[in-house]
Amino acid sequence: MVRGGVRCDDSPVADSLPRSPAAASGGRLALAAERVPPPAFLVSSAVFHYLGPACAVLLFARLDVLGVAWLRIASAALVFAVWRRPWRDWRAATPYQRRLLVAMGAVLATMNCTFYLALERLPLGTVGAVEFLGPVVLAAAGVRTRRNVAALALVLAGVALLTDVHLVAEPLGLALAFGNCALFVLYVVLGHRLAADGGASGVGRLGAAMLVAAVVAAPAGLAQGAAAVTSPVLLAAAFGVGVCSSVIPYVCDQLAMARVPRATFALMLSLLPATAAVMGVAVLGQVPGAAEAAGIALVVAGVAAHRERDAAARA
């Protein structure tokens, strides 16, 4: 288990988790990751987290939104299947862990579909800013300090500005964005449980959860996404979206969390609403207005200001 960037091998949670049959491969991955500075993982995750969705929006003109969402999940699941062989993690899992993997898969499927439905109606920067309301509320509830209360106030003010801008024109889009926000909180909670005994084994479990997600999302998007099979260009583009959105950032997150304090990792979250806005402008030409820019800036400031429990205890 990783606490404040220090691996705690005597953790009762870590001891209760069986080692994956892919432990040797995971060891090689962890060894290779040690050669890369943690900030490189953090920056890579921040960039790719919204580069993929920005490119996915360009596919909406050719494919149904839920079809794009399913292709993203399925292509990521395929990459994990070839790379990590996550069914071995499934076989090694306890009944509790299997329930956790199924829950994580259901959250990933629902979160991705809801996220793309929101992107169909709202700018990427707005959806990205609303998405981080949940984690900041969670952090403020867990560590009640003046700093975290102030951080929460900044985020709430920013989201209020964004809500005021889009409430009349896109009430459904905002509802979907807030639904995605709630699902993102579940993703954070379940993701920490998957990574309980380190980044490399967490990647294998993430792959197993992604396979579950592909099955869960199939009824909503398989038929719509099947249209891409007849177009190699569309299929390649959808595969690229899956790699950029659901493989690179999630793996970078796991490897970074294994080596840096949680407070440092939490600080990285402040990059994500900003990168969402930047990708919206650069890829989609979605230039935010003054109120939207102010709202996004307040969210970034609030996420950067909040502290996790370990950092608050040291302060």
Tens digits of pLDDT across the chain (315 residues)? 444 444 444 444 444 444 444 445 556 666 666 778 777 887 788 788 888 888 888 889 889 999 999 999 999 999 999 999 999 989 988 899 999 999 999 999 999 999 999 999 998 888 888 887 776 676 666 666 788 778 778 888 887 777 776 666 788 998 999 999 999 889 878 887 887 665 557 788 889 999 999 999 999 999 999 888 888 988 999 999 999 999 998 888 777 766 766 555 655 666 677 788 888 888 888 888 888 888 888 888 887 776 655 555 555
Cα 92 from Cα 94, distance rounded (Å): 7
Q: Which residues contact 205 (CB under 8 A, 6 or more apart)?
A: 20, 86, 89, 93, 97, 101, 104, 194, 195
b (16+ CB within 10 A) / e for 286-296:
bebeeebebbb
**pLDDT at residue 2 in the model:** 42
The secondary structure of residue 35, as a DSSP letter, is: T
298 touches 161 (CB < 8 A): yes
Cα 274 from Cα 196, distance rounded (Å): 29
59 touches 242 (CB < 8 A): no
Which sequence spans correspond to the domains of the chain? 38-314
Question: What is the phi/psi pair of residue 196, to 5°?
Answer: -60, -30
Helix axes of 171-194 and 146-166: crossing angle, nearest 10 degrees:
140
* Amino acid letter for position 314: R
**pLDDT at residue 11 in the model:** 42
The secondary structure of residue 63, as a DSSP letter, is: S
Residue 91: Cβ within 10 Å count = 11
- Which residues are registered as beta bridge partners of 6? 3
**pLDDT at residue 299 in the model:** 81
Helix axes of 199-225 and 95-119: crossing angle, nearest 10 degrees:
50
| CA-to-CA separations, 148 to 67, 122, 298, in angstroms, rounded | 39, 28, 14
**pLDDT at residue 251 in the model:** 86
b (16+ CB within 10 A) / e for 44-57:
bbbbbbbbbbbbbb
Tokens representing 52 are 């993929």
**pLDDT at residue 261 in the model:** 61
Cα 208 from Cα 225, distance rounded (Å): 22
